[in-house]
Every structure is written in structure tokens, then in C-alpha cells.
Structure 1
Amino acid sequence: MPHAIVPSRRTGAPVVPARRRGPRWARWFLGVGAALMTLSGVALGGSQFLLHAATSKVTRQNLLGSAAASRQHRTITGAKNILLVGVDTRPHQDADQLTRSDSIILVHIPADHTRAYLVSLPRDSLVDIPAYDNGATPYRGGKNKINAAFAFGSRGLSGAAALSHGFELLALTVRDLTGITPDAGAIVDFQGFRQIVQVLGSVCLYVDETTTSIHIGHDRNGRPAAPYKINPDGTLHNKIPGVTPNIYRQGNHCLNPTEALDFVRQRDLLADNDYDYGRQRHQQQFLKAVLHRVMTDGLNSPTKLPGLLTAVGRTMTVDDGGIPLEDWAFALRGIGPDAITTIRTNGGSFNSRAVPGVGSAEILSPTSMELLRAVRHDTVAAFVQEHPSWVAPPGPDTPTD
């Protein structure tokens, strides 16, 4: 079970930190939702040594492939769009599921580089996936859920090849859907975040809806046991008798590495029945909570900082689009937490339809397509002004232990 927050000795209330302006690398971390995240600030007061130490830990790879803009003479000026993909490399699953994308986020940076907009594309969104030959198992193309693009692109491959081809087909699918050619891309491995939390010790956050785990629980003797059988596609099958699942109840909690990863994976048994919309929100809250812990503890600890940079580097694979990571870092150093806006496609409401051969899929509404056109044309601020209810409300301040 998650560890309850220790209340204030003076008031008895959960301790909530005061807001403060973080170092520039931390603001970049938050601004892209976790992708090129440690980079800019490890500038920590302008330290080129720490910035180099951070960027040297990040895995560089050509992910965008044919979906990328020309890399000749690329500069950091102007509006930028980053394709951020979260994968959940769960153990004991086949290769197809290991490269299935769980979170797909377009990070839009306006031309003045003063804000960041995060637009999440539901993984069940019905899209046209183009034909693609990865050299191992060609895909003929067709209508399917958008997260299947990553799996189709990576079929028959493993390791770096699976990541690059899976990401390329997903990027091509997003480009065909939106007309947006990403300027950079990144894969964030949520399993790798367990290593970050291990270095930090725990991560504290506000659980906004009671969440029941389908992956972790204990039997009658208190021994760890899986509480549910899971279908091959990762969905819920049935409850296993005699096993009690972990329950993350609404409220402030500090989670250990196993609990933190388990919480952000859940989509089936959420109290508000918001499924992928809920999981997307929880992953964003988790990333912000990790950021807070890094800022308040990790950066100030000579013993934790080296391991922290190594763990973060192992958590992501980045395609910088031909623009050095250091340039990304310094150009976006002015984006603070208050300048980050998360926008919900379909206004955060379900718009599902049964599709033969696909199952229940999410249909992006005309207004969602209008939002994606605003991202393409750098008019998101005007869209937000016209559709304020589509902006995800900020959650409670990140708690601390």
C-alpha cells in the first residue's frame, strides 16, 4: 500500500511546499512533459560541465526517419513541435507488446518560446496508419488505433531497431493525421522511471481518484501476487480469487518505486471510469511529482546527482531533429511551470465507436481536429481562449514527505 504522508507537527495537515521557480533544466523537463528533460537546466546556474554531464547520458537515435523535416541548416528559432511517446516495457510479455505506445503527446512551443502546450492523443484514437516496410515484417496499412502504429512499425524487430521503426511509423501516422512534421522526438520508458524513483527514494503526489491495481497485490498469506489475469493486449480479463489488489486511495501519498510505476500504469479500475484519459492525467501528475522531488532533493545531493543523471539518461531515447540538445535547453530555459498548459482532446470526454476489426475506438471530434490545426499553425493560444474548458485544470500542489 502507498505510504501516507507525514502530517505537519504544528497543524496536523499534509505538508505542501511553497511554489518556487526551479532551475532551468527542471523547467525544460516539465515543459516537454519529460522528453529532452534533464537537459536545460542541468545548466544549474549556467554550469556547462553539468549540462554536458546530463546530455552525455541521453541515448541519441534517429527516431523520426522519413517523418522528419530536413536536418540541413536546422535552427532553434520559430515555433517547434516535439512528438513525445511513453512506452511501458513490462516484463514477461511478447515483443509486440513491449513496443506498444501507451502515451502520445504533442508538445507545442510557440515561436516566442515563452510557453509550452501539451496535447495528448488518446491511444485508442481511430486513425489511418500508412503502409510501412520495416525490413522484417511489412505492414499493408489501414484503419486502426493510433498506438498500434508503434507496434506495427516494430514487428519482427528488437532493441534500437524496434524503437526507431516503431517511432517512425507512429510519427508518419501523426503527420498524416495532423499535417505536423515533428521538429524532434523522444521515447520515455515508464519502466525506467522506477530507477529514477529508486535513486530519489520515493515520489509524493496527490492521487486524484481511488485507483485499483490490476498488476500488484497480495495473497491470503501476505505474499506478492497478481490480482487479475490480463489479456494478451494488456486489458483486464478476470479477478484471481484470494488475491487482494493494491489500492491507491484518493489523497496525498508517497509511493515507493514499485508503487509509483504501478500507479501510472493503471487504466481499467479507476474510480471515475475515465480509463486512458485518467491514465494520461496520472502520468503527467507523476512526471511533475518526480520533477518536484528532483528539484528539492536530487539536485542538492552530491551522492544522488550522478545516479540521477544516469537513471534519467537510461529512461529516454531522443531524436534532436538536427538541433543540438544544448541549443534546445538554452532556448527554452524561460518556460516555467506556470507557462505549461495541458489541453485535452475531445475536451476530456469519451467519443467512442465500435469499429469492425478494431473494437471500441475513440473518434477525434471536429473541435479536436481544429486544435491539431492550431498546433500546426501556431495559433494554440487563440484556441485556448475560445475553448477554455478544454484546458486540464491544475491539480493540487505536489506534496512532500
Structure 2
Amino acid sequence: MLAALVAVAVVAVGAVVITRLVGTDRSTPTAPSASADAPPSPSPSTPPPGADITGPLNLLLVGIDTRVSVPGWEPHADAVLILHVPAGLSRAYLFSLPRDLVVDVPAFKPAGYRGGRTKLTNAMSYGSRVPDRPKQPDPAQGYELLSQVVSDYTGLRIDAGAVLTFGGFDELVDSLGGVDIHVDQRVVSRHRQPDGKHRSPGPGVGGYVGPQMVYEPGDRHLNGWQALDYARQRYLPGGDYTRQRHQQQLIRSLVGKILDTDLARQPERVEQVVAALGDMLVYVGGRRIVEFAYALGGLSPDALTLVTLPGAALGRGNAYRGEELTQTGRRFITELRAGKVDEFLAEHPKLVVPR
């Protein structure tokens, strides 16, 4: 699911959010103590790291469920989000691709995968396979294949990205004191009880039993486990497209809190945070994560536009093969590449997720 954390950018979010965990004061960030391993602070005459990044940028965030309790489980891409930042870095557009989007996945030698036409979520799992370590999948390797597939499908160059697991999500949100979300429809959890405990497995595939947490419509303040649980639910009217919208709402709430504290423009703390995250965050990029964090730290939360791409099922019932974007959804990507996305969204206002 969402592993949603996009600090000032999809790629930097997890790093910046966790900053609250390594500081002693949860209300005011403090500078880390000097150490031989900490990067030096830029002098007044030295441009901060990332100051030369002007865009455009395309950043890819992947949320995965590793299910570490299941031996040999391969990570699936439960959330695939793209942040597009035009030149000038003054605004940004965040959209999701359906996890079940049917795509062409090329052969990938490191994983021994021969290629095929399959669901987007499988690109991560197939790419993560390590032939000589069948029970130790490599998420970074899986991201490499998934990123290639996303780039081929959208025609966008992916500049950097990150993989975030479920494991640390609760703690990350709690470190910010929770998030404020407008619940737009009644959501009944398949996974959690009202007290936060996991529901017990039930009969059938994917079944659960026991009382269920319910999120009623309205403005709600959610803690870590509630935010994760709310954003995971897809057995709702609208299915995975509704879940994508909820994930994006959660990201916008997180981004607002992060930008308010200016954490993204503290390179030393971001470096410290990346190390603290450990295996919860896998970052991939040609530039350091602190550089993208700084470059995007000047974005206003109001400059982040959330976009829902309409799609349709391929096949039904037992013949269901996955999802495809509608002509409108595909055209959004075309107009995005052409730099005409604002005009397109003005013509299709229903694609924009309300604030």
C-alpha cells in the first residue's frame, strides 16, 4: 500500500518524516551533534546541496507489502505513485498507476525473468528475485525493473525514487503527531479491529473474522496505524481507484506538516534520518536524497495537485485480467509530457482530488 511518504517530494518523504524520531524535541527540530561521519554544513558562500536542481523532475514512490512473516514472500507493489515537478520546481502533480494495470514487462537478466505481459504489481515481485537466494528477494532490484516499466508506459524519465515498506509507517505518522484527513466515504476495515489489533484470519482466501474498525465520513485525526489502515482499504465503491485517492490525500496531509517545519532543507538531519530508516526505505537515484529534498523544500502544499486517473477492468469474474487506463487517463500522461497539463485539467476538473 501506500507507504506513502513523500516529504517535499515522493522520494524524500520517509526520510524527512522520521526526523522527528531522531530528535529529542518532538515540536522543534534540533541540530544533530557534530561527528566525523556527518556531512559538513554548507558555508554561506557554498550553494546548498541540490540548489542546482531546476527540473523538470519525475520521482517514483513504491509502497510494498513484504510480509516478512511468510518465508520466501516476494514484495508486491501495492502503491505506485509518480510525482511530476515541472521546470522551476514551483508546482507538482501527484498521480497513481493502478497496481493491476496490465503492462509489458521486459526481460530482466538479474532476476532471470524472461519478460511478459502482466500486472504492474508483478514487475516488483518478478524483478526482486535473486536466483541464488530464492528466499531473500531484493526490493532495490525489483524497483529497477518496475521503474523501467513505469518509464516505458508513461514516456517519463524517472529521475529518482524510493521503496517504502509497511513496517515503519505507523511509527512515521505517529512521529508527526498523526494526520488530519477528510474521510470522504464510510470505510470499514478488513484488517483492523477498533482497538488497532489485527483481525484474525478467517475461512477462505484473504478472509478475516472479528470486530472491524470503521472510519466515518468527516474530518478525522488519524494516528499511525489508523492512517495506514484507512489508506490500505480497496474493497470499497471504486475499488483500487478509491484507495489511490485516499493514499494521495494522506500524502498531501503529510507534505503539509513536513513543509511547515522546513525539515527538508536541513541536509545534515536528512542524512541522519536516511541512516535511521535502515531497511524501511530503499532510495534509488543519481543524486543524493538530501539534494532532492532541498530542491523541493520550497514547494507550497497548495502547489501540489492530486490527480486520479480513470481506468477500467480488462475482463470480468474469472476472466478478469487486470486494469487499463481510459482514453482520458492516457491523455493526461500525454499532456503532462507536453507541458499542457494545466489546460487539460481545466477541461477535466473531476480528475483533481478535492482538498
TM bin (shorter chain): 0.7 to 0.9
Question: By how many angstroms is 1:286 displaced?
Answer: 2.3
AA aligned opposite 2:222: L
Structure 1 counterpart of 2:238, from 274, 279, 299: 274
Residue 332 of structure 1 pairs with residue 321 of structure 2: no
Query: Structure 1's 274 and 227: CA in aligned 2 closer, same or farther, altered over 3 A?
Result: farther
The amino acid across from 2:105 in the alignment is: I
145-154 vs 29-38, greater mean Cα deviation: 29-38
| In 2: Cα distance, 1:351 partner to 1:186 partner | 28
Structure 1 pair 158–56 and aligned structure 2 pair: CA distance change class (3 A): farther
For the Cα contact (< 8 Å) 1:83–1:104, is it kept in 2? Answer: yes
The one of 154, 161, 167 aligned to 1:185: 161
1:354 aligns with 2:340: no
Residues 242-261 of structure 1 mapped to structure 2, 5 A cutoff: 243-261=210-228
**1:317 — aligned with what?**
282
- Whole-angstrom distance in 2 between the partners of 1:165 and 1:357: 32
Equivalent pair of 2:313/2:320 in contact (CA under 8 Å): no
Equivalence for 2:103: 127
Distance of aligned partners of 1:286 and 1:218 in 2 relative to their CA distance in 1, 3 Å threshold:
closer
How far residue 36 of structure 1 moved from its aligned partner, in angstroms, is: 6.9
> Which residue does the alignment assign to 1:283?
247
Q: Quick check: 1:32 aligned with 2:4?
A: no
Identity %: 34
User: What count of residue pairs does the alignment treat as equivalent?
Assistant: 320
- Deviation string, structure 1 residues 294-322 (Cα, Å, up to 9, x no partner): 677997xxxxx99x94798444322232x
For the 8 Å contact 1:81–1:184, the answer to whether it is kept is yes
Q: Which residues in structure 2 correspond to 1:156-235 (within 5 Å)?
A: 156=130, 162-200=138-176, 202-217=178-193, 225-226=199-200, 228=202, 231=205
2:126 aligns to what? Answer: 152
Give 2:55's match in structure 1, choosing from 53, 78, 81: 78
Which of 328, 341, 346 is 1:367 aligned to? 328
Q: Deviations over 1:86-108 (max 9, x none)?
A: 123345335444x1011111211
Partner of 1:263: 230
Backbone CA RMSD of aligned residues: 4.1
Match of 1:384 among 345, 348, 353: 345
- Farther off after superposition, 371-380 or 352-361: 352-361
2:197 and 2:309 mapped to 1: Cα distance?
41
Matches of 1:263 and 1:281, distance apart in 2: 11
Aligned equivalents of 1:215 and 1:166: distance in 2?
A: 26
TM-score, length of structure 1 as denominator length: 0.67
2:308 matches 1:344: yes
Question: Equivalents in 1 of 2:150, 2:55: separation in Å?
Answer: 21
Moved more, 120-129 or 79-88: 79-88
SS at match of 1:107: strand
Partner SS, residue 93 of structure 1: coil
SS at 2:212 equivalent: strand
* CA offset digits 1:334-368 (Å, max 9, x no partner): 3101111112212xxx4111189983411122332
Amino acid at match of 2:123: A
TM value normalised by structure 2: 0.75
Distance 2:281 2:229 in 1: 19
Distance 2:159 2:314 in 1: 32
Q: Which runs of 5+ in 2 are unaligned?
A: 21-28, 40-51, 264-268
**In the alignment, structure 1 residue 140 sits paired with structure 2 residue 114:** yes
- CA separation in 1, counterparts of 2:248 and 2:135? 26
Letter in 1 for 2:294: F
Per-residue deviation, 1:166? 0.7
CA contact 2:11–2:162 (8 Å) conserved in 1: no
Unaligned 5+ residue runs, structure 1?
A: 1-26, 58-74, 300-304, 395-401
Contact 2:65 2:76 in 1 (8 A): yes
- Distance change in 2, residues 1:287/1:129 (3 Å): same
String of CA shifts for 1:154-179, please: whole Å, max 9, x gaps: 13458996112110111111122122
Q: Residues 32-78 of structure 1, C-alpha deviation per residue, up to 9 Å, x if partnerless?
A: 37647629x99xxxx9956x99x979xxxxxxxxxxxxxxxxx6233
**Using a 3 Å threshold, how does the CA distance of structure 1 residues 180 and 294 change in structure 2: closer, same or farther?**
closer
Question: Contact conserved, 1:216 with 1:224, CA < 8 A, in 2?
Answer: yes
Report SS of the residue matched to 2:94: strand
SS of aligned partner of 1:345: coil
State the alpha-carbon separation in 1 of the partners of residues 302 and 123 from structure 2: 33
